[in-house]
Amino acid sequence: MCVTNKVVLVTGASRGIGAATARAFADAGAKVALVARSTNEINAIAAEIGENAIAIGCDVADYGQVVAAIEQTTAAFGPLDILINNAGLLDPIDHLAESDPDVWGKTIDVNLKGVFYGMRAAMPDMIGRGAGTIITVSSGAAHGPVEGWSAYCSSKAGAYMLTRCADNEAREKGVRIMGLSPGTVATDMQRDIKASGVNPVSQLEWSDHIPPEWPARTLVWMCSSDADEFLGTDVSLRDETIRQRVGLV
């Protein structure tokens, strides 16, 4: 699938993987809506990209705001072709027995409910047109417990199951749905992990992390039929063969 002139919405687009992804799709010729709560940041990135980008302030934990963001995107560029569910939180980095319930719940609201809200808002029109791609930025934490990350692991595991459920219901209706597990990426989240000193991930050196441009380029590749074998599951960027197929090595 060539993404030239395709309409793409990226959540959590103000920094890290999300910002790199917006730029990667724009570089590939797509029309991109950058969605985030941090409006100053997405406004600046959209201005940098130019006329094929718009910035939309949105909290993905609010379904009404997600619906409105997609409506603004379609009003500007036309029907949504690709949804990238990237917005995510890690807090609290704390042992489960000591975690703040409100902070724990906020991560579920963003990482799990936010993914559901994006799917719920985008899928009816995609199903109606018999076309569309939805990719959620997943994690190795979706598949195994990590000390101090109970909210993150639980939310990512739930989002992975949402990917499987959505694929189960929509693949035969023409909608492509999958996830990307990027591994550890050199973003601000890794700085927070490092500062926490909790679990082995915090002991990694900055040079151990891949640049955000790698998952961004992989997400563009995943919109092609070359990635169809991964529908309903996660693509792992730790896999050297995937890196080769994307052209990262």
Catalytic residue positions? 152
Asked if the peptide bond before residue 92 counts as cis, ω within 30 degrees of 0, the response is: yes
Q: Phi/psi at 191 (nearest 5 deg)? A: -65, -40
Q: What is the DSSP string of 102-170?
A: HHHHHHHIIIIIHHHHHHHHHHHHHHHHT-EEEEEE--GGGSS--TTBHHHHHHHHHHHHHHHHHHHHH
CA gap 91, 124 in Å, rounded? 32
Q: Which amino acid is at 105?
A: G
CA gap 216, 133 in Å, rounded? 15
